[in-house]
Amino acid sequence: MFAEYHSSEKSAALGRVLPTAGPRGISQTLQDTFARHAVTFRDGNTLILEGDECESIYCVLDGWLALSKSLDEGQNQIIDFALPGDIIDPASADGVTSSVMIEALTDGTLAALPYRNWERLTKDWPELARMSHLIEAAKRARRAERMLRLGKGTAEMRVAYALLEFCIRLDSVCEPDIPSFHVPLTQQQLGDYVGLSSVHVCRTMRRLTRNGVLESSDHMDIRILDSQALARLAGVDPDRLKREIIPQI
């Protein structure tokens, strides 16, 4: 499932999730701890199954992970995507078993910190505890927005919201005038996220393309041509949404 992490880009990856250096040298101290627990994952790996025993907090340093739940009949619902900088605690209320399945959508790296280590780190470094709290608050906010659209929104609203959310979360790679980004998802996986069939997702994406809202090519390379139109379809104010789902660390 995991491999040891030996990368020359280690510091850059760790910098995405750790607080900036302060008067106590927090960044270097935490980097050393995170680096000792850093492991790589490969596209298609299953990190943990729903119901498995949990042992660690996962801090995503690079790559995409999908968090999902399944019914006995096999239907799958993707609950969230974890991107670089996210912190995942998969444990359910019993503190022992995972409430979700976690799968890798790309190659990547994470720090798997045993709960005992994590508790000690957040106690010793209040900045890390605050950052973790803000990341969890952002997660709740984006799930609430998506749940609203799953319950009340049209297909266009659901897909438009998901793409806008991805663009905001990937803001560092978006161009200011014509945002462009890659989503490492199949249409089936996007459908599992927004509660639509792959056929419905395909039709909706084509309609957004025909109407000049976006371009999509090469397996979900997205260019947003009319960000205002996309925001209207999604039913959100992008600036407000950004404040709610991007932790201000």
Band of the pLDDT at 190, cuts 50, 70, 90? Answer: very high
pLDDT at residue 157 tops 90: yes
Which pLDDT score is estimated for 105?
97
172 confidence band (pLDDT: 50, 70, 90): very low
Give the pLDDT band of residue 168 (cuts 50, 70, 90). very high
pLDDT in the model for residue 93: 95
pLDDT (tens digit per residue) in 68-111: 999 998 889 999 999 998 999 999 999 999 999 999 999 999 99
pTM value is 0.88
Instruction: Examine the domain organization and report whether 116 and 215 are in the same domain.
Output: no
Q: Tell me, what CATH number does 187's domain have?
A: 2.60.120.10
Q: Which H/E stretch holds residue 113?
A: strand 108-114
How crowded is residue 140: how many other Cβ atoms within 10 Å of its Cβ? Answer: 11
Residue 147 has a pLDDT of: 95
Which residues, 6+ apart, have CB-to-CB distance to 85 below 8 Å?
Answer: 16, 17, 60, 135
The length of the chain in residues reads 249
**Domains held by the chain: number:** 2
- Picking from 124, 157, 180, the residue at the C-terminal end of a domain is 124
Identify the residue with better confidence: 29 or 77.
Answer: 77
pLDDT class of 21 with cuts at 50, 70, 90 = very low
Residue 200 confidence (pLDDT) above 90: yes
Of 96, 124, 152, at which residue does a domain stop? 124
Q: How far is CA 115 from CA 69, 105, 127, 181, in A?
A: 23, 25, 18, 34
Look up residue 70 and give its two tokens. 């399944």
* Distance of alpha carbon 235 from alpha carbon 152, whole angstroms: 11
Cβ–Cβ under 8 Å, residues 69 and 132:
no
Q: Which of 103, 59, 52 is nearest to 81 (CA)?
A: 103
Phi, psi of 87 (to 5 degrees): -120, 130
Residue-level pLDDT at 188: 94
Q: Contact at 8 Å (CB) between 204 and 156? A: yes
Assess if residue 130 is contained within a domain.
no
What single-letter amino acid sits at 186?
T
Residues 171 and 199 in one domain: yes
pLDDT at 27 over 70: no
> In the listed set 93, 124, 155, which residue is the last one of a domain according to the structure?
124
Q: Is the pLDDT of residue 40 over 70?
A: yes
- Rounded CA gap, 158 and 37, in Å? 37
Task: Give yes or no for residue 192 having a pLDDT over 60.
Answer: yes
Q: Verify that 116 and 190 share a domain, yes or no.
A: no
Domain that holds residue 99: 3-124
Give the pairing type, strands 3-4 and 38-41.
Answer: antiparallel
Q: Is the pLDDT of residue 120 over 60?
A: yes
Query: In this structure, is residue 167 part of a structural domain?
Result: yes
Measured in degrees and rounded to the nearest 5, phi and psi for residue 35 equal -65, -35
Q: DSSP secondary-structure letter at 173?
A: G
Whether residue 163 lies inside any domain: the answer is: yes
Whether pLDDT at 19 is above 70: no
Same domain, 155 and 112: no
